Amino acid sequence: MHSVEMILFEQLAKDRHRQLEREAEADRLARAARAGARRHDGKVGADTSRGGKHYPREDAFREFWRGFVVTLPLWIGILPFGVAYAMAARGAGLSAAETIGMSLLVYAGTSQLVATELLASEAGALSIVLATLLINARLLPLAASLAGSLGRLPASTRGLLAFTLSDPSYAVSVERVARCVAGWAFLAGSGVSLYTGWQLGTLAGLAIGSAIADVTALGLELVFPLSFLSLLAPYVRSRSGALAALVAGGLALVARLVVPGTAYLVIGIVGGSLAGALVERRR
Amino acid sequence: MSDWVIIVGMAVVTYATRALPLLSRWKVSHPLAKRALCYAPPAVLAALVTPSLLAPGGAVEIGPKLWAGMLGAAVAWRTANLPLTVTIGLGLFGIMHWLGLG
């Protein structure tokens, strides 16, 4: 797992897991007791073990709410990140509507910060979308690892669930999804919670940004590289991650000096990720 | 208006990375490509950071931006805390600017 937010929230997530394990156990016992009671009544209870459409509706609502609440502490991490993004976006010349629109539609912090930086340096639309794809490709394996547990849900539900999938919501929910039939609702609640926090952070950043008269006069273009450094820190703790960053940074710097345009980004990114992958294979 | 085109393009590719594995059987199958994808985030971040601190104008420049970046890197390494890294880095840059070093 290589994701910034995940590492930031790792400890919190671990605590949550422990708490959830206990809750899930209690849950299972309670459900078994209910099922037993129903059987004695001679009624046909909802067979939760088969999943699909047969989960009790109230379970799903409860799970959703539980996921929402359990994820609330992570707002501490997501709010300032949203504030930084919104201030950077305004500094890069995005309108307030565009700043909010990107948060609502894209909802992926690192790639949003990178995109605003690229917009500020007048990069083309294609290279911005490509950079977004490269950064968020890390979500592919997350989604893929959930596919097995969520496969029984209707496609429309899976499509909606995907919209709010993020590293922290995955981290908090993955065990629940694998363990409980209604775990998907927990994942949804966690995702919606973080999504809400991200939007509120964005709004707060807009408010703060407009309170400061001239954002560009404060050397705020440094907000980008400084934010990126803090997002980079968790990755470089592994040897292969550090090598990927070193190769990418070195190649990008050299290419920046000799190649016109933003090609230096593609050169650095491709070289760096291949270097990381090759070293990992060696080990 | 073209900013909106970019935003929608970003939204489409981002949603695709979240939804494709859940909605289809499509997978990144080549093992090297799969691993390389894991290293895309640090590679992207480093490829952005290095030139903007060392060569902001297209030529190598040893100045307050680099010093602010190095202090920021140290804070980031110790804390991985985004607001703290930004505040301390900007603070050093501001002080150097104020002293007439930038």
The dihedral sign for the CA sequence A176, A177, A178, A179: positive
Closest partner CB to B7 (pick from A105, A256, A276): A105
Q: Residue A225: its chain B contacts at CB < 8 A?
A: 48-49, 52-53, 65, 69, 72
Predicted confidence band of residue A41 (pLDDT cuts 50, 70, 90)? very low
Residue B91 has pLDDT above 60, yes or no: yes
The confidence score (pLDDT) of residue A45 equals: 37
Distances (CA, A) of B45 to A230, A264, A273, B71: 10, 13, 11, 17
Q: Residue A234: its chain B contacts at CB < 8 A?
A: 80
Q: What is the ipTM, given to two decimal places?
A: 0.84
Summarize pLDDT for B12-37 with one digit per residue, the tens: 999 999 999 899 876 667 888 878 87
Closest partner CB to B47 (pick from A101, A269, A277): A269
With pLDDT > 70 as the criterion, what percentage of chain B qualifies?
93
Alpha-carbon distance A250 to nearest alpha carbon in chain B (angstroms):
7
Answer for the pair A101, B7: CB distance below 8 angstroms, yes or no: yes
Of the CA atoms within 13 Å of residue A74, those in its CB half-sphere come to 34
Enumerate residues 6+ apart whose C-beta is below 8 A from A150: A158, A161, A177, A184, B22
Q: How many whole angstroms separate alpha carbon B29 and alpha carbon B36?
A: 12
SS3 track for chain A: CCCHHHHHCHHHHHHHHHHHHHHHHHHHHHHHHHHHHHHHHCCCCCCHHHCHHHCCHHHHHHHHHHHHHHCHHHHHHHHHHHHHHHHHHHHCCCCHHHHHHHHHHCCCHHHHHHHHHHHHCCCCHHHHHHHHHHHHCCHHHHHHHHHHHHCCCCHHHHHHHHHCCCHHHHHHHHHHHHHCCCHHHHHHHHHHHHHHHHHHHHHHHHHHHHHCCCHHHHCHHHHHHHHHHHHHCCHHHCHHHHHHHHHHHHHHHHHHHHCCCCHHHHHHHHHHHHHHHHHHHHC
This prediction has a pTM of 0.66
Q: Residue A219: its chain B contacts at CB < 8 A?
A: 90, 93-94, 97
Summarize pLDDT for A75-104 with one digit per residue, the tens: 877 888 898 899 889 888 899 999 999 999
Asked whether the beta carbons of residue A268 and residue B22 sit closer than 8 angstroms, the reply is: no
Asked whether the beta carbons of residue A253 and residue B51 sit closer than 8 angstroms, the reply is: yes
